[in-house]
């Protein structure tokens, strides 16, 4: 029996060997035609690894183009979620900008063709804190005959927390209160937003606290009245004032009825002219009586002296 099997296996050995090679080649040909090796590209989100504590990594390149080579079936079975592109910050520990090579990982069976870009510029930005006051903006008006006398805040000291570049870009922290015929004093929570010099919100910065309570003090029995402005100007010794012209000549005052009724004019701060001048052109600040608000706070003045 063993001799029979041996004879079968050894008979025509050369032909059988050739047939084996041809069948193997045919198998590879069929498989390659059914699942050919092709190239493909993926746009992979760039991530940062080993970012040092108390720093934020800032970078402009958000996606990396990864070009791979593999059988066509691999590109069907795998997608962008199976690939990673990252910059390793393990060896970078201080503030500054660094050029870091992009590393990739992908499923077994793929061959890496190219990575674009190969190097990315990364800025390590330290986290900082900064103190800033809140600016409350009131829109609308209270009921007729009333004014907003004061805005009492639950906190005047706010803290900005975030990366240095973002925190330093903040110019104001603002909150809004809308009035619509309010007649009495009320409390309201006011959310706060950090904005840059163009008024755009800086979303990467945290404001602490994120909201404050504001007491809007509304005062009734209010009167408005227009009164003349009196320029207080003192001439140098031995000289006389020839003419004083101011613009505007009148100002609207607002306050409690009893107080407003007692005011007949608003004076400017006293201007004492030096000895060696013949005239003055400039601005004069108005003196604001306690409990009164003005529509203007300074005037343009022209003063000439007699020869």
pLDDT value, residue 14: 64
Percentage of the chain with pLDDT > 70?
Answer: 89
CA–CA distance, 131 with 173 (Å, rounded to integer)? 10
Has residue 19 been placed in a domain? no
What region does 12 belong to: left with phi over 0, alpha with psi -120 to 50, or beta? Answer: left
In which band, very low, low, confident or very high, does the pLDDT at 30 lie, cut at 50, 70 and 90? very low
Q: Are residues 161 and 204 in the same domain?
A: yes
Beta bridge partners of 218: 148
Q: Are residues 200 and 236 in the same domain?
A: no
Q: Are residues 141 and 118 in the same domain?
A: no
Q: Write down the mean pLDDT value for the chain.
A: 88
Which tens digit of pLDDT belongs to each residue from 211-237?
Answer: 999 999 998 888 889 999 999 999 988
Domain region containing 157 = 133-219
pTM above 0.95, yes or no: no
Contact predicate 289/259, CB 8 Å: yes
Structure tokens given for 132: 């800033």
Among the listed residues 186, 96, 173, the one whose alpha carbon sits nearest the alpha carbon of residue 134: 173
- C-beta pairs of 282-288 under 8 Å, 24+ apart in sequence: 284/231, 284/246, 286/229, 286/251
Among the listed residues 237, 241, 245, the one whose alpha carbon sits nearest the alpha carbon of residue 274: 237
Which tens digit of pLDDT belongs to each residue from 2-23?
Answer: 565 555 555 656 655 555 565 6
CA–CA distance, 160 with 12 (Å, rounded to integer)? 88
Percentage of the chain with pLDDT > 90?
Answer: 67
Q: Are residues 115 and 48 in the same domain?
A: yes
**DSSP 3-state of 285:** strand
Has residue 14 been placed in a domain? no
Which tens digit of pLDDT belongs to each residue from 248-297?
Answer: 999 999 888 889 999 999 999 999 998 888 899 999 999 999 888 898 89
Structure tokens given for 307: 């020869």
Which tens digit of pLDDT belongs to each residue from 100-153?
Answer: 999 999 999 999 999 999 999 999 999 999 999 999 999 998 988 788 888 999
Quote the number of domains for the chain: 3
């Amino acid at each position: 029996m063993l001799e029979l099997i041996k004879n079968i296996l050894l008979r025509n050995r050369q032909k059988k060997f050739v047939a084996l090679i041809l069948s193997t080649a045919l198998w590879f040909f069929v498989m390659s035609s059914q699942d050919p090796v092709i190239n493909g590209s993926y746009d992979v989100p760039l991530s940062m690894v080993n970012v040092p504590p108390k720093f934020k990594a800032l970078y402009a390149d958000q996606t990396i183009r990864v070009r791979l080579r593999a059988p066509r079936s691999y590109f069907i079975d795998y997608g962008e979620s199976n690939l990673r592109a990252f910059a390793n910050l393990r060896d970078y520990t201080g503030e500054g900008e660094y050029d870091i090579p992009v590393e990739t990982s992908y499923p077994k069976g793929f061959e890496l063709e190219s990575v674009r870009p190969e190097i990315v510029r990364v800025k390590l930005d330290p986290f900082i804190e900064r103190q800033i006051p809140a600016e409350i903006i009131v829109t609308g008006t209270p009921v007729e005959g009333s004014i907003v006398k004061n805005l009492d805040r639950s906190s005047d000291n706010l803290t900005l927390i975030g990366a240095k570049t973002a925190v330093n870009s903040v110019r104001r922290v603002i909150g809004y209160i809308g009035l619509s015929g309010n007649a009495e004093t009320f409390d309201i929570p006011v959310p706060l937003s950090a904005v840059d010099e163009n008024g755009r919100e800086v979303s990467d910065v945290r404001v602490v606290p994120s909201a404050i309570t504001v007491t809007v003090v509304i005062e009734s029995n209010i009167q408005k009245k227009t009164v003349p402005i009196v320029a207080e100007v003192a001439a140098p010794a031995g000289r006389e004032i020839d003419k004083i012209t101011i613009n505007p000549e009148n100002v609207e005052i607002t306050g409690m009825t009893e107080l407003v009724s007692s005011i007949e004019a608003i004076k400017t701060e006293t201007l004492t002219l030096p000895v060696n001048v013949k005239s003055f052109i400039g601005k004069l600040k108005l003196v604001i009586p306690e409990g009164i608000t003005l529509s203007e706070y300074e005037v343009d003045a022209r003063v000439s002296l007699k020869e």
